[in-house]
Amino acid sequence: MSSCNRCGNPIEFRYVGGQCIPIHIHGGCIDSGNSAINDYSGYRESKESTCFSTSCPECQDEVYFIRHNGGSVWVDAPLGPPWYQHACMHPPKLSSQKPTSLLSFHKFDVGSLPQSTTIGVVKSCRVSYDKSRTELIVNNGKKRKLELVCKNNGGFLLGKLCVLDSNNEVIYSLEEPNLKYMLIIETTECPQCGVAVSKKNLKKHIRKKHSVKS
């Protein structure tokens, strides 16, 4: 069962009006006096968290090393589901056993995840003043970090190993899949054809559709 990041008391998540809301089982939130630590306001960074591609020192295969606030893990490439732990670093108890999937720890149904789903660590977050949106920097093993924006206060995701579902445009912690944050896809109008495209893909759209080098 999950616990409140402010008071430590048990909570469960329920959908109210289409939104996933944390509910205190034994009443309201009782602040422990440390709410400033977990208030998730402003800018915060998790310096220890990382996710990068490297070679296994044992077999030389490509692997991903991930360090997050729940520990560290070596994962087989590529970073698509079901994310098997690399056997050299996480040997199974029996030689006949298959490598362990990260999903097995959280009772995920791998069939429910789009193939394009990936994982990464939230390196930093900037929560807006009114807590209506959060800017996220996600380290997903590529040279260029992902810059995402989600609805509401997503400071909870800082330092966590997260699932990025681009098909459904959501991001959520692997350990709390019921608490999903909708991604805000900011769009702009192509100056060449007037089609609405995401700001992130504007240059790519212009190069591909209009043969214009940026």
* C-alpha triplet 171, 172, 173: angle, nearest 5°: 140
**pLDDT of the residue at 33:** 43
**pLDDT of the residue at 171:** 93
Q: Which residues contact 85 (CB under 8 A, 6 or more apart)?
A: 73, 74, 75, 76, 99, 100, 101, 102
* Placement of tokens 């504007």 in the chain: 202
CA-wise closest residue to 81 among 117, 108, 54, 112: 117
Read off the pLDDT of residues 94-135 as tens digits, 9 standing for 90 and up.
666 677 888 877 666 667 788 788 899 999 999 998 888 999
Percentage of the chain modeled with pLDDT above 90:
26
Read off the pLDDT of residues 17-74 as tens digits, 9 standing for 90 and up.
555 566 666 655 554 444 433 557 789 999 889 999 999 988 999 999 999 987 889 9
Q: Model-level pTM?
A: 0.69
| Distance in angstroms (rounded) separating the CA atoms of residues 102 and 108 | 9
Instruction: Spell out the domain ranges in the chain.
Output: 1-36, 50-109
**pLDDT of the residue at 81:** 86
Written as one letter, the residue type at 127 is V
